[in-house]
């Protein structure tokens, strides 16, 4: 067992990370299983008996079993040949949540182009097992082996779940692709490493109250308050209102200072400033993460001030994910 572990560790060092991987014969390894070794011993014993007793029927059975074994070995390797693997877009999650990685499995287009239409039924790949390479996982969690078939000219989608332990870009551990099809006498396998675009947001702090030191934080009145949803009309400009809401064209026509109004009652607008929080780096990131989540849920307009970057005040899902991504990637090389 230790020898196989060392062999697997050595093989993993030879694997490079790619966006997409196509399995070729020079990257597929094959060894007999326990059942295959027993099968080989039986053939050897039958051959010894056939030679000893000079029995034609035993000779026939021996060579038949040996032929079946050789064909099985070829089919086992062929079952992995020309399979293509890649990772689709990964939905971001918060640290310590399980990450779902959509693994796309298909057959290489080069292979399909070279096969005649009459051979489609023979190109289906059966019982393809996918699992994380145990030697590379940092968690004690046992990763279940997923088994799937890959029909001809079709794409299979397999969801791989992995725990997350730190924020930033998630690096997918090496995957072991294996099969024992058709008789289980041999196991063919290979190791692959795939790139992905998964981002792990910081683990948000528990809800807490925080009053920003800058920005407006008052409620609009009625259906035509100073919300930020949809434009609804104009009103007289009041001192202290944001200059970006002034209707400058009306002012140029000497119609007075008018301020744009929008439907919606929430007019919270403020900055979330790194320097307003105490604690170490990770603690600040967790607090800012919580406030970004709360601000988006409440419909506030908010901006983010970090030591190395400032994100202007806005709102919406794009802005929300941009802020969370910046928090996730803050000094990520030092995490």
Question: Over the stretch 126-150, which tens digit does the pLDDT of each residue have?
Answer: 999 998 875 444 444 445 678 889 9
Residue 96 sits in the same domain as residue 166: yes
Burial class (CB in 10 A: 0-12, 13-18, 19+), 173: buried
Residue 100 sits in the same domain as residue 138: yes
Residue 276 contacts residue 220 (beta carbons within 8 Å): no
Averaged confidence pLDDT in the chain:
81
Whether pTM exceeds 0.75: no
143-148: long-range contacts, CB 8 A cutoff, minimum separation 24: 148/105
Question: What is each CA distance from 131 to 85, 120, 142, 178, 219, in whole angstroms?
Answer: 13, 28, 10, 9, 53
Residue 234 sits in the same domain as residue 196: no
pLDDT category at 257 given cuts 50, 70, 90 is: confident
Residue 97 sits in the same domain as residue 166: yes
Residue 275 sits in the same domain as residue 262: no
Distance CA 274, CA 288 (A): 8
Residue 213 sits in the same domain as residue 282: yes
**Edge-first strand listing for the sheet containing 199-201:** 93-94, 199-201, 168-169
Residue 17 sits in the same domain as residue 96: yes
Distance CA 332, CA 195 (A): 17
Residue 233 sits in the same domain as residue 295: no
pLDDT at 26 over 80: yes
Domain that residue 296 falls in:
203-217+269-335
249: region left, alpha or beta (phi > 0 left; psi from -120 to 50 alpha): alpha
pLDDT for the residue 298: 85
Query: Residue range 203-227: average pLDDT?
Result: 62
pLDDT for the residue 224: 39
Residue 257 sits in the same domain as residue 190: no
Distance CA 91, CA 159 (A): 12
Output the six-digit token pair for 216: 């407006």
Residue 121 sits in the same domain as residue 237: no
SS3 285: helix
pLDDT at 223 over 90: no
Residue 76 sits in the same domain as residue 35: yes
Residue 70 sits in the same domain as residue 110: yes
In the chain, how many domains are there? 3
């Amino acid at each position: 067992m230790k020898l196989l572990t060392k062999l697997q560790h050595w093989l993993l060092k030879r694997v490079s990370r790619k966006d997409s991987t196509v399995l070729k014969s020079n990257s597929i390894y094959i060894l007999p299983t326990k059942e295959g070794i027993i099968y080989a011993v039986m053939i050897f014993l039958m051959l010894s008996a056939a030679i000893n007793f000079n029995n034609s029927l035993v000779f026939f059975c021996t060579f038949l079993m040996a032929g079946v074994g050789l064909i099985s070995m070829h089919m086992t390797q062929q079952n992995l040949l020309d399979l293509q693997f890649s990772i689709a877009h990964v939905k971001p999650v918060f640290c310590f949540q399980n990450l779902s990685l959509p693994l796309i499995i298909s057959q290489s287009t080069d292979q399909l182009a070279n096969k005649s239409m009459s051979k489609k039924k023979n190109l289906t790949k059966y019982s393809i097992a996918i699992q994380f390479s145990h030697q590379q996982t940092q968690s004690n969690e046992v990763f279940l082996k997923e088994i799937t078939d890959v029909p001809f000219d079709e794409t299979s989608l397999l969801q791989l779940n992995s725990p997350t332990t730190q924020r930033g870009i998630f690096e997918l551990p090496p995957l072991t692709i294996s099969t024992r099809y058709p008789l289980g006498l041999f196991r063919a396998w290979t190791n692959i490493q795939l790139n992905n675009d998964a981002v792990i947001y910081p683990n948000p702090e528990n809800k807490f109250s925080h009053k920003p030191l800058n920005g407006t934080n008052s409620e609009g009145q009625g259906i035509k308050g100073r919300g930020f949803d949809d434009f609804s009309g104009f009103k007289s400009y009041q001192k202290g209102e944001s200059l970006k809401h002034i209707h400058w064209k009306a002012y140029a026509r000497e119609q007075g200072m008018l301020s744009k109004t929008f439907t919606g009652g929430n007019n919270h607008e403020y900055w979330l400033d790194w320097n307003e929080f105490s604690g170490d780096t990770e603690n600040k990131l967790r607090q800012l993460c919580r406030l970004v989540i709360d601000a988006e849920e409440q419909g506030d307009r908010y901006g983010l001030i970090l030591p190395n970057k400032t994100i202007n005040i806005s709102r919406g899902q794009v802005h929300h994910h941009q802020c969370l991504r910046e928090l996730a990637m803050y000094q990520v090389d030092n995490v």
